[in-house]
């Protein structure tokens, strides 16, 4: 199913990878990001960091195909983890072994997503805290940031960086001035719809080019630029950038396995949802 979707639209790989990341960062990899809000609860998917998520339709299509084959066996959380792996592999990235047996959570709160998902505006200390709270190392942080080698960012997230960084109508000095000028031709103040490639030139190919982008101060988000502000993350960026990503594929696979193990529900915890958007 993943092959079918990605073959017809390569831009879906990044959203499917992001779905897994955003799921695991809140309550662990339990499919909680897939749940719909109810009249009494605002779910994770309606929190600001998740309002630009895509790919729910792909997960639903896979779920219904899997349910036909073996009803009540495969959790939505496992489907999200497997789809992320397969998407990355399909656009030129590494593959990794995904342990299965996750169960689906029954709780999803927008407030938790807002508090725990790393922000594109975060500085390096905030990012290190975000990752460390999930049992991920500084190396995992710089490696998983490499996911930005595919996909797009929205103009409204970077408008401030371009036009009013400190409230004085200025541009973020950590952004390469030539690149900032180029971005200003694409993103105008008040633009809520236009998107920009995070890795211009190869935004649907999973390569190590993201590290060249960051090393030349062309990271789209403040959180990308922040990787140059810590000795450990900067050394990694420089290494991958100067060696064409010598260890990146292998490192990414290892960090994704760690990500997929965060806070999983097993055994009699949680449930196997019949439909991914609603609890049984």
Q: Reduce the secondary structure of 36-47 to three states and give it as a string.
A: CCECCECCHHHC
User: For 269-279, what is each residue's pLDDT tens digit?
Assistant: 999 999 999 99
Q: Whole-model pTM above 0.85?
A: yes
Which of helix, strand or coil describes residue 60? Answer: helix
User: For 115-134, what is each residue's pLDDT tens digit?
Assistant: 999 999 999 999 999 999 99
User: For 197-248, what is each residue's pLDDT tens digit?
Assistant: 999 999 999 999 999 999 999 999 999 999 999 999 999 999 999 999 999 9
Can you give the pLDDT at residue 67?
97
Can you give the pLDDT at residue 271?
98
Q: 189 among the known binding-site residues?
A: no
Q: 26 among the known binding-site residues?
A: yes
DSSP characters over 107-173: ---HHHHHHHSPPTT--HHHHHHHHHTTT--HHHHHHHGGGGGSSEEEHHHHHHHHH-TTSSS---T
35 DSSP 8-state letter: P
Can you give the pLDDT at residue 25?
98
Pair 155, 196: CB distance under 8 Å: yes
Can you give the pLDDT at residue 102?
98
Can you give the pLDDT at residue 118?
97
103 DSSP 8-state letter: B
Can you give the pLDDT at residue 233?
98
Can you give the pLDDT at residue 198?
96
Q: Give just the sign of the alpha carbon dihedral 19, 24, 29, 34.
A: negative
The mean pLDDT value for 53-63 works out to 98
Given the structure tokens 């593959």, which residue do they identify? 95
Q: 32 among the known binding-site residues?
A: yes
Longest CA pairwise span in the chain (Å): 59
The domain at 1-117 falls in which architecture?
A: Orthogonal Bundle (1.10)
Pair 10, 204: CB distance under 8 Å: yes
User: For 10-40, what is each residue's pLDDT tens digit?
Assistant: 999 999 999 999 999 999 999 999 999 999 9
As assigned by CATH, the class of the 124-256 domain is mainly alpha
Can you give the pLDDT at residue 202?
93
Q: Which of 22, 85, 128, 218 is catalytic?
A: 22
The reply to whether 154 belongs to the active site is no
With 0-12 CB in 10 A as exposed, 13-18 as middle and 19+ as buried, what is 83? buried
Closest CA to 209 of 242, 231, 186, 176: 242
Q: Where are the domains of the chain?
A: 1-117, 124-256
Can you give the pLDDT at residue 89?
98
Can you give the pLDDT at residue 244?
95
Pair 266, 104: CB distance under 8 Å: no
Can you give the pLDDT at residue 88?
98
| Mean of the per-residue pLDDT values of the chain | 97
Given the structure tokens 């792996």, which residue do they identify? 85
Banded model confidence at residue 113, pLDDT cuts 50, 70, 90: very high
Q: 241 among the known binding-site residues?
A: no
User: For 186-198, what is each residue's pLDDT tens digit?
Assistant: 999 999 899 999 9
Q: 238 among the known binding-site residues?
A: no
Can you give the pLDDT at residue 57?
97
């Amino acid at each position: 199913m993943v092959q079918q979707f990605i073959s017809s639209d390569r831009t879906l790989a990044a959203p499917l990878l992001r779905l897994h990341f955003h799921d695991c960062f809140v309550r662990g990899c339990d499919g909680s990001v897939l749940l719909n809000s109810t009249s009494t609860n605002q779910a994770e998917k309606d929190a600001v960091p998740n309002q630009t998520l895509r790919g729910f339709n792909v997960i639903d299509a896979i779920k219904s195909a899997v349910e036909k084959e073996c009803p009540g066996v495969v959790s939505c959380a496992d489907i999200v983890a497997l789809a992320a792996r397969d998407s990355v592999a399909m656009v030129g990235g590494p593959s990794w072994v995904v342990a299965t047996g996750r169960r689906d959570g029954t709780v999803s709160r927008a407030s938790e997503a807002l508090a725990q998902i790393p922000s594109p505006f975060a500085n390096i200390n905030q990012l290190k805290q975000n990752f460390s709270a999930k049992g991920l190392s500084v190396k995992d942080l710089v490696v998983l940031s490499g996911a930005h080698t595919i996909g797009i960012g929205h103009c409204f997230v970077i408008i401030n960086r371009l036009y009013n960084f400190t409230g004085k109508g200025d541009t973020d000095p950590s952004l390469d001035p030539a690149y900032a000028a180029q971005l200003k031709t694409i993103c105008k103040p008040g633009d809520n719809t236009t998107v920009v490639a995070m890795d211009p030139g190869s935004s649907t190919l999973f390569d190590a080019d993201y590290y060249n982008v960051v090393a030349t101060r062309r990271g789209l988000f403040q959180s990308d630029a922040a990787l140059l502000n810590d000795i450990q993350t900067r050394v990694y960026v420089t290494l991958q950038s100067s060696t064409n990503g010598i260890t990146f594929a292998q490192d990414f696979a290892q960090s994704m396995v760690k990500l997929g193990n965060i806070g999983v529900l097993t055994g009699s915890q949680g449930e196997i949802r019949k439909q991914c958007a609603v609890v049984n």
